[in-house]
Amino acid sequence: MDRRKLALALANVSGAFFVSCLAYGSFLRFWRAHGEWRLSHLLLLFQLVLAAFFFIARQAPTAVSWHPWDVFTALLATFAPSFFSLESKTATKIGGLILQIIGNGLSIYAVASLGRAIGILPANRKIQTGGMYRVVRHPLYLSYQLANLGYFLNHPGIYNVAVALLCLLSQILRIFREERFLEHDPRYAEYKQRVRWRLIPFVF
């Protein structure tokens, strides 16, 4: 095995391990908070397991951005939801629970649409245009925000307002950084012409 293939294999295994740790951490947090499984929790866990699988099998990138701002925004947007507090004692609101189920359900579809092109840092692993990517250019980030909003509705508070805003702003900044990087590929420029909306159809 040459050095490039070895580096790719190590990166993929590391990514799968990282996502697996997120899955385990999510399981512990939700179980300690509620002591029971909910559909939204199961969907989130399945999405993370699916992402770990694709990390192991993901294809080699033709380019990866190691720009400090790109690395920072990618990591911040990835970890920001873990800052949410579980301290709120308010009763679960059906609207918040539904948003979590929709968001986590869509995240499974988005990960499946992304497939072997999955990653954390901005990278070109073939421009994805199928599945949810026919509707918006960043469907996985949309699903995250829906789930975050639902979570906030069930755990309101000033601190969680700040975390929800951090999640949203970091993902928006991440979108701009990723698109700036991918625009060097003519195929992505053509894709942007076909799919106009970044995150929310007819809005953004």
φ/ψ region of 32 (left if φ > 0, alpha if ψ in -120 to 50, else beta) reads alpha
What pLDDT shows up at residue 72?
94
Which among 157, 151, 155 has a CA at the least distance from the CA of 81?
151
In this prediction, residue 36 carries a pLDDT of: 60
Model confidence pTM above 0.85: yes
**Burial class of residue 87, CB neighbours in 10 A (0-12, 13-18, 19+):** exposed
Exposure letters 149-185 (e unless 16+ CB within 10 A, then b): bbbbbbbeeeebeebbebbbebbbbbbebbbebbeee
The one-digit pLDDT tens for each residue of the chain (204 residues) are 566 667 667 777 777 777 777 767 766 666 666 656 678 778 888 888 888 888 888 888 888 899 999 999 999 998 898 888 876 656 668 888 899 999 999 999 999 999 889 888 899 988 889 999 999 999 999 999 999 999 898 888 899 999 999 999 999 999 999 999 999 899 999 999 999 999 998 888
Amino acid identity of 67?
A: H
Task: Name the nearest CA neighbour of 81 among 20, 141, 14.
Answer: 141
Please name each of the domains of the chain with its CATH number: 3-194 (1.20.120.1630)
C-beta separation of 139 from 133 below 8 A: yes
What was the pLDDT predicted at 94? 86
Phi-psi domain of 40 (left: phi exceeds 0; alpha: psi -120 through 50; beta: other): alpha
